[in-house]
Amino acid sequence: MQLIKLIAASLLIPMGLFFLLAIATELINPDASEDSKISVTIAGLTLGLPALGMGGWLLWNGYYQSRQKIENRSRRIHSIFFHLILQNRGTITASHFAQFTQLSPQDAENFIENKALELNAVREENPGGETVYHFPLDY
């Protein structure tokens, strides 16, 4: 659906600009009659403004929906993170976190590393070589 909105907007905006440009060229044309200028202006505004408005709205709506998806995903990941921290009494590994969030291991590691810096977590290596993070539960 996002692709369809993007394609429609990329067609409507140039079309609207074309009609508005036609008005400008007709108005500066020294050989054009007054009736011609009026008819081109009315036609250009009638066709150009709705196309430009609809294209702009489609772009804005697509951007807004994209931002909403990103925010919802971020909220979900944070919620899972804090749930796992509480469930495991402050201890978490990147692989455990990645398993519940469907993040890549590298993305999970980066997320937990950033949270560890933010929340003053203690980092240690377990005998298997995996990094274990211990978060304080006083937040």
- The two tokens of residue 101 are 């969030």
Tens digits of residue pLDDT in 116-132 = 999 989 999 988 888 99
Q: At what angle do helices 34-87 and 2-28 cross, to 10 degrees?
A: 150
Q: Indicate if the pLDDT at residue 72 is higher than 90.
A: yes
Residue 46: count of CB within 10 angstroms of its CB: 11
Helix (H, G, I), strand (E, B) or coil at 125: strand
**Whole-structure pTM over 0.85, yes or no?**
no
Average pLDDT over residues 94-107: 93
Query: Max Cα separation, the chain?
Result: 88
Q: Indicate if the pLDDT at residue 138 is higher than 80.
A: no
Tens digits of residue pLDDT in 24-61 = 999 999 998 999 999 999 999 999 999 999 999 999 99
Helix (H, G, I), strand (E, B) or coil at 123: strand
10 Cα distance to chain centroid: 18
**CA–CA dist 73, 81 (Å, integer):** 12
pLDDT of residue 139: 52
| Percent of the chain at pLDDT exceeding 90 | 87
Q: Are the CB atoms for 51 and 11 separated by under 8 Å?
A: no
- The two tokens of residue 83 are 């749930």
Task: Concatenate the DSSP letters of all residues of 54-98 into one string.
Answer: HHHHHHHHHHHHHHHHHHHHHHHHHHHHHHHHHHTTTEEEHHHHH
